[in-house]
Structure 1
Amino acid sequence: MKQTLKSHKVRLAVLSPLFIGAGDEHTLSPYSDYVKRGDWLTYIDTGKLQEAMQGDAALIDAFVKGMRQFDNNQAPFELEDFITETLGRRVEDFAVRLVRIEGDCKKAQIRRFVATAGKPFIPGSSLKGAIRTAVLVDWLLNRKDGEPALDKIRVAVKKGNQEALEAMNPEQACFGSISHDVFRHLRISDSVPIDVSHLMVGEMKRVALPSKKKKQQQSDIPQWSEMIDWSVETVCSISMITPLEPTGFDFLDHQSVSKLFSIVNRISLESCQRELDELEGFGKFRDFTGFYENLEQQLLSIKPDEAILRLGGGKTWHDNSIGLSIDNEEFGPEILFKQYLQLLMNIENLPFPSTRSAIVKNNEPIAPTGWVKLTLSKNK
């Protein structure tokens, strides 16, 4: 059988601020990398800054002393003052770019978005991973051949058999072993690089849901992060290779992106409606809940050539695992879900998860992170 590659151009639109981290080693420090002025951050070319100090021991000592004060939580070191007063230069002399910031990051480090040649992009691996999770959850919940795998999990939970539960690999049962994984027939490219003007820095917090013990939501330390702003669009491609033998998945066997999208949308709707159930009645989450109400309407009326899914940082455990398969009536009553959490994760109480990552403004959660919409382009 001759193998062919069928490729589709896909438009990706950001529905809520998106963060995909470049790694812990890529963070911006207020003491060397940026200066905040009003609603804008000026990123500093540290190479130029080092050149300006080169050969001047007094300048280098002053800079190092300031950094040590920061490390020891002593008197604050202001990079802008060092540049304008100690160096006698303008901040603009060292500027790389301006990035809008929403809120006051004070002296926080800023997590950077993954980038190539300085421009952010959406990794194809992030898209493929999110799609793969959706297909796995759908296989467990809605496919006849996934029933035995879900039933094995159910039996182990009922028996309290933690060892058997930990040994299970539903992902391999669904897709095959590493060397024969059917998802190798699906390829997703990195997106076209996004102009840096579409970057913004926002405040992400883990915001706790109220409980019987805690009537008020409590916010964790904010994680200031570079994000792709609302409504930004880019382009990537989805390709499928003709399998040499049937995979058991129609979308792969017939190279049908629309069939794949229908699976993704089914699971995204499940996730969305679960969030609405969990958030019901929590006044402080009004805007956050409003986002999901709007998202639900989009998913209920979505077209065959469109898909909505969630990427990047801030996803809940349900988005990153088979959780939607277990926290589901198809699996069993809520007590079974609770037993599953106790056995695998030593978690005793519901609701789980009890926090949400949110974009926060004025200490109010306004939206979840990372929801995007894919649309098949008419031009291949």
Structure 2
Amino acid sequence: MNYKLKVLSPLHIGCGEAYNGLNYLIDPRKKPPQLSILNEELIFEMLKDGQIKSFVTWLENERFPNLFYFFKNVLKDNNFSLQNHLRQKAIYTIPNYAGQEKLREINSFMKQMNHPYIPGTEIKGVIRTAVLYCALLDQKKLNERLLKSLKGFGIKYKVEIDLVKNERELNKKNPKNSRESLRDIKKKLEDKMGDITKELQKSALNANAKEDAKYDVMKYLQAGDSELLDAREYLSVSYVKPFNISRDPSVFYEYIKPDKEISLSMLSLENSKSLKIEQMGFDNNQKDIVSNIDKILSYCFRFSNDLLDEEVSFFSVHGKQQIVEQLIKIKAINKPESPVLRIGKDEGYNSLTVGLAVKKLDSSLYENVLIHATKNKSYDSKNGGPMPKSRKIVYWNGEETTAGWVQLIPENISESQTNFKNNSDNQAGQRQKPATSADLSKLQGMFNVKVKRK
């Protein structure tokens, strides 16, 4: 069966490259403004000698160069003739949904020959996390082993965990080296916790818990790259900011727009009754994981359902009504045969780790042990938490949303069965009707949280 992805919220998958102010030119005459991606060599080819000299002088004095301001303020290109000529030679032109936010460096989307695509490894990675999550919850031996490992970890590294939890006390004792000491302690705890997670993954997914990847049952799931996409049709630019912490500037990304559908080249499962699988030594639980593709999809459905509940609860507590409504709409279309996934940049801690499983199995171990063995600062309930304390919010055409939600859809399912329209991509700039007090009260009952109203 063939599958496609429907993008439900802005989606960024990075390639490690970024466009600086010399690689793009904004056209503010359009609504939304249009952003042309350029090869900067074209600028030197187009400008005359005197203009090149002005350009070099301007560059030397600009911390964040912006081509639009150079043409407008230095070359006085008020009729846009030079800019129009340059735009005609652009690699591609896409809309800018960042509003009044001043553009800086823009992180590029993954591409082949300037065509964005979604790599199959991204899809397979989130499916693997969902499978592991369900295995930890469903299999008694695994969840007992997980909890036993965490308890042992907490006892063995109690001194280090207490230092991390009581950062202020460490600062008093060793003010000069406290930051470096904390970083070293956190790195040590993170590495040790990584070892526990790795062993659990082997137990859950590898035949006889063997190290070699050829004994990993998930290798029988094949996920291919998506089709290559037309950047002009699929891409756009906007920005993200961390919510609930007071630092970090806006970060700009190329995003695939919501409501786009993308075909996958492959998503298939080798026959679980094949001789190869029988001979590898997988236990019955591992064989069951790859018994059929519907089983795989059901794991994704369960994981996303719990993840969405967690996100709704967080944003409800913090009064982010618009995001809550979007997440509830996404949860409503999450189906076992057509699950929602969260992929790409800024998925968040719970999307990428066993953290949510631990939180469900034993919330005290989650708060008192696990969150203090992570890379970034620990936030328990006594210190602004629980972790993760913050989330990344995408600001999209005047709306707030979260990134990376997609739906995996068998191509034989009709559009009416997966109907979803993201109000954050409202080209006409209209706003949905605000939720009433009754709506918020209903929300409070659904997720057992106190909803703040701003």
TM-score by length of 2: 0.70
Whether 2:332 is the aligned partner of 1:297: answer yes
2:104 corresponds, among 108, 112, 118, to: 108
From 362, 373, 391, the equivalent of 1:356 is 391
Kept in 2, the 8 Å contact 1:70–1:76? The answer is: no
Tell me how far 1:141 sits from its aligned partner. Answer: 1.4
Tell me the secondary structure at the aligned position of residue 11 of structure 1. strand
Match of 2:172 in 1: none
The aligned length equals: 351
Match for residue 207 of structure 1 among 233, 240, 243: 243
Whole-Å separation in 1 of the counterparts to 2:374 and 2:241: 26
State the secondary structure of the residue aligned to 1:22.
strand
Alignment of 1:98 with 2:93, yes or no, is: yes
Structure 1: runs of 5 or more not aligned: 1-7, 210-217
Q: In 2, Cα distance between the equivalents of 1:66 and 1:335?
A: 57
**Where does 1:25-44 land on structure 2 (aligned, <5 Å)?**
26-38=17-29, 39-44=33-38
Partner of 2:201: 171
Structure 1 pair 296–29 and aligned structure 2 pair: CA distance change class (3 A): same
SS at match of 1:249: helix
- 2-structure distance, mates of 1:27, 1:79: 20
Asked if residue 223 in structure 1 is aligned to residue 217 in structure 2, the reply is no
* Cα deviation code 1:244-280 (max 9, x no counterpart): 13444356543x2111010011011111111222223
User: C-alpha displacement at 1:235, in angstroms?
Assistant: 0.6
1:327 aligns with: 359
Closer/same/farther in 2, CA of residues 186 and 111 from structure 1, 3 Å limit: same
User: Partners of 1:230 and 1:91 in 2: how far apart?
Assistant: 29
Residue 360 of structure 1 aligns to a residue in which SS? strand
**1:305–1:167: structure 2 CA closer, same or farther, 3 Å change rule?**
closer
The answer to whether the 8 Å contact 1:13/1:232 transfers is yes
- Equivalent in the alignment of 1:18: 11
- After superposition, the Cα gap between the structure-2 partners of 1:75 and 1:326, relative to the gap in structure 1 and judged at 3 Å, is closer
| Structure 2, unpaired ranges of 5+ | 158-188, 414-454
Match of 1:5 in 2: none
For residues 75 and 315 of structure 1, what CA distance do their matches in structure 2 show?
30
In 2, distance between residues paired with 1:187 and 1:74? 44
- Counterpart CA distance in 1 for 2:65 and 2:6 is 44
Q: Percent identity?
A: 20
| 1:324 CA drift (Å) | 0.8
Q: Which residue of 1 aligns with 2:317?
A: 281
Query: What displacement does 1:183 show?
Result: 1.6
Aligned partners of 2:93, 2:390: CA distance in 1, in Å?
Answer: 33
Q: What CA deviation, in whole Å up to 9, does each residue of 1:216-247 have, x standing for no partner?
A: xx473111111111110011020223451344
1:238 counterpart = 2:261: no
The 8 Å contact of residues 241 and 249 in structure 2, kept in 1 or not, is answered as yes
CA contact (8 A) 1:157 1:340 kept: no
Change (3 A) 1:208 1:119: same
Post-superposition offset of 1:326:
1.5
- Give 1:297 deviation, angstroms: 2.2
- CA-atom RMSD in angstroms: 3.0
Give CA deviations for 1:84-127 in whole Å, capped at 9, x if unaligned. Answer: 649x9521222223211111342411111111121211111111
CA distance in 2, matches of 1:74, 1:50: 15
Instruction: Report matched runs for 1:47-58 at 5 Å.
Output: 47-53=41-47, 58=50
Q: 1:167 to 1:359 in 2, by over 3 A?
A: closer
Distance 1:21 1:89 in 2: 34
Higher strand content, 1 or 2:
1
Q: What amino acid is the match of 1:10?
A: Y
Q: Deviations over 1:171-219 (max 9, x none)?
A: 222222224222211111111122221211112111117xxxxxxxx47
